[in-house]
């Protein structure tokens, strides 16, 4: 089983920013996007 504090569905500009902010606060965050473009940038992976 996977354990996340926050799951963000959709990687538009606002949701990507929200996911990044959660990760900066050391929350285990999962960002889901169906397209290969995240926040307008192709193949950008945030770890």
Determine if the pTM surpasses 0.75: no
Neighbours of 22 (CB within 10 A): 19
SS3 10: coil
pLDDT tens, position by position, 3-47:
999 999 998 889 989 999 999 999 999 999 888 766 666 655 555
Length of the chain: 47
The CA distance from 41 to 29, in Å, is 20
**Are 14 and 8 within 8 A, CB to CB?**
no
Give the confidence band of 1 by pLDDT, cuts at 50, 70, 90. Answer: confident
Instruction: Give pLDDT, residue 3.
Output: 95
Q: What share of the chain is helix, strand, coil (3-state, %, to 5)?
A: 25, 25, 50
Instruction: Give pLDDT, residue 42.
Output: 60
Instruction: Give pLDDT, residue 39.
Output: 64
């Amino acid at each position: 089983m996977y354990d996340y504090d926050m799951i963000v569905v959709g990687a538009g500009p606002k949701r990507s920013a929200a996911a990044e902010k959660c990760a900066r606060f050391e929350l285990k965050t999962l960002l889901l996007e169906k397209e290969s473009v995240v926040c307008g940038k192709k193949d950008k992976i945030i770890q």
